Amino acid sequence: MNINRLFNQYLILVLCLGMSSLSFAAETIGVLTVVIGTVSIEREGSSIAAELNSKLYEDDVIATGGRSRAKVYLLDQTAIYISQNAELTLDKFVYSGDEDSVSLKVTKGTFRFISGQVAKKTPEKVNIETPVATIGIRGTEFLGHIHEVESVFHLFSGKIEVANDIYTQHIVAPGHHVTIDPSGLISTPVKLSDEKLNVLVDRVSHHKSALDNDVPESSREKDEGEHEEDDKVEARE
């Protein structure tokens, strides 16, 4: 009888701990404060149509379609704006005072990151992974553009470290940027022209004029390729 009672108490304890773990895992870490066009949330193998003020959780993947935008706002006031045809994963978010950390992953598209309270207190615990480099944050606002031909990381304020398995560059001067080519080479930080910066900023802007300028990446690449070919013909002539 005593053995059965102890066993039942053990089962209750295990269930309570399990429920507690599930509750903790399901804690809201942020919300979507901008949703324009086609925006979805991938969660536990299912795709959910995003809405304004949709709650977000760890491991959520936010994806945008063409002529779409989204803004993620985390509990520590971190903000991430993402462009059309982008994908952002909320890998880890802890904002409890002792073990604060923010880990994000952007696999495609353009994004603008504005650091929050975690970066102010423990900047070394904030990291953003991309296919071409990992970005270390030092109280920062920056923009990233992921592209198979040339990726760009531009600093608005603070400092960032851009690193991959081959190279590391530090951007410490606002208004400067680095590029990364397909081989993984990270350029020396240089100032970005206003024209190019405006194009990148438009990619994450949710104003109608910016949305009207959106074109499919394939069309943009085709146009750029045609312009390059025209330049070569003119040079030969």
Examine the pLDDT at 20 and tell me if it is beyond 60.
no
Rounded to an integer, what distance in angstroms lies between the CA atom of residue 23 and that of residue 17? 10
Query: Six-digit token pair at 224?
Result: 């750029």
pLDDT in tens, 123-170: 999 999 999 999 999 889 999 999 999 999 999 999 999 999 999 999
Rounded to an integer, what distance in angstroms lies between the CA atom of residue 235 and that of residue 6? 87
Q: Model's pTM, two decimal places? A: 0.80
Rounded to an integer, what distance in angstroms lies between the CA atom of residue 112 and that of residue 155? 10
CATH number among 2.60.120.1440, 1.10.3720.10, 3.30.360.10, 3.40.50.10190, domain 28-236: 2.60.120.1440
pLDDT the model gives residue 2: 56
Tell me what the mean pLDDT of segment 17-31 comes to: 62
DSSP assignment letter at 90: E
pLDDT in tens, 165-219: 999 999 999 999 999 999 999 999 999 999 999 999 999 998 877 787 786 654 4
Residue 7: helix, strand or coil by DSSP? helix
